[in-house]
């Protein structure tokens, strides 16, 4: 069930850029070495270029190790999120679903692909939607955690009551996101 989280798309771009820099420096180095003319290249220039290549290679190795560690950590936390027993839903500040875990998919009876991009309010009973909006707006305005109960018109029981907890998870200066914890009452 847990899927491997692939490296970020930027990693391919980074690898390409690093490879291009390495290739360019090595071509220049080999070109200078082939000329062999002291008038064209001083030994100190060759040594400096060799050191630069070694430094670039060391920096690339360090960067790759950091990238691998970040991917490992991201995969670990993604698995914790995805396999949690509670239903977790991540939304933007308007309540539009960005991500759901497996428990949320089971509770809402939809696969992730069918939930992402939909307003979470669609799964709330009509009579509880005003309270849903008020609590979402208050959580956004105060950057606080809100908890309440509401009915859901989805699921095997049309009178299903859900305990809802919502709070902001975005650091200052980034796109606003909310984390919802949904539990059967």
Answer yes or no: do 107 and 158 share one domain: yes
What is the CA angle 111-116-120, rounded to 5? 100
Tokens found for residue 118:
């939909």
pLDDT digits (tens, 9 = 90+) for 48-86: 777 888 888 888 888 888 989 999 998 998 888 889 999
Residue 129 lies in a domain: yes
Phi first, then psi, for residue 106 (nearest 5°) are: -70, -40
Q: In the 3-class helix/strand/coil scheme, how is 6-24 assigned residue by residue?
A: CCCHHHHHHHHHHHHHHHH
Answer yes or no: do 29 and 78 share one domain: yes
Q: Which of 123, 118, 119, 114 is nearest to 155 (CA)?
A: 123
Answer yes or no: do 117 and 164 share one domain: yes
Domain count along the chain: 2
pLDDT digits (tens, 9 = 90+) for 148-162: 888 886 655 667 888
Q: Are 151 and 58 in contact (CB under 8 A)?
A: no
* pTM for the whole structure: 0.66
- pLDDT of res. 34: 65
Answer yes or no: do 97 and 159 share one domain: yes
| DSSP conformational letter for 155 | S
Answer yes or no: do 99 and 38 share one domain: no
Of 55, 82, 109, the residue at which a domain comes to its end is 82
Answer yes or no: do 128 and 67 share one domain: no
pLDDT digits (tens, 9 = 90+) for 90-115: 999 889 999 999 999 998 888 889 99
pLDDT digits (tens, 9 = 90+) for 121-149: 998 989 999 999 999 888 888 888 988 88
Domain range for residue 54? 9-82
Q: Are 162 and 109 in contact (CB under 8 A)?
A: no
Residue 4 lies in a domain: no
């Amino acid at each position: 069930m847990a899927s491997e989280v692939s490296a970020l798309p930027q990693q391919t771009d980074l690898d390409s850029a690093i490879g291009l820099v390495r290739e360019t420096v090595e071509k220049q180095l080999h070109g200078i070495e082939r000329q062999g003319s002291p008038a064209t290249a001083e030994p100190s220039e060759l040594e400096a270029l060799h050191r630069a290549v070694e430094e670039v290679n060391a920096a690339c190795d360090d960067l790759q190790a950091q990238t691998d560690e970040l991917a490992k950590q991201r995969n670990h936390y993604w698995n914790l999120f995805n396999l949690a027993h509670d239903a977790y839903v991540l939304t933007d500040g308007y309540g539009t679903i960005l991500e759901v875990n497996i428990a949320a998919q089971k509770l809402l009876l939809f696969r992730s692909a069918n939930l992402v991009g939909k307003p979470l309010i669609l799964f709330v009973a009509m009579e509880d939607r005003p309270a849903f909006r008020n609590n979402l707006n208050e959580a956004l305005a105060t950057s606080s955690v809100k908890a309440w109960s509401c009915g859901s018109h989805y699921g095997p029981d049309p009178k299903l009551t859900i305990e809802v907890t919502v709070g902001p998870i975005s650091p200052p200066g980034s796109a606003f996101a909310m984390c919802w914890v949904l539990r059967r009452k």
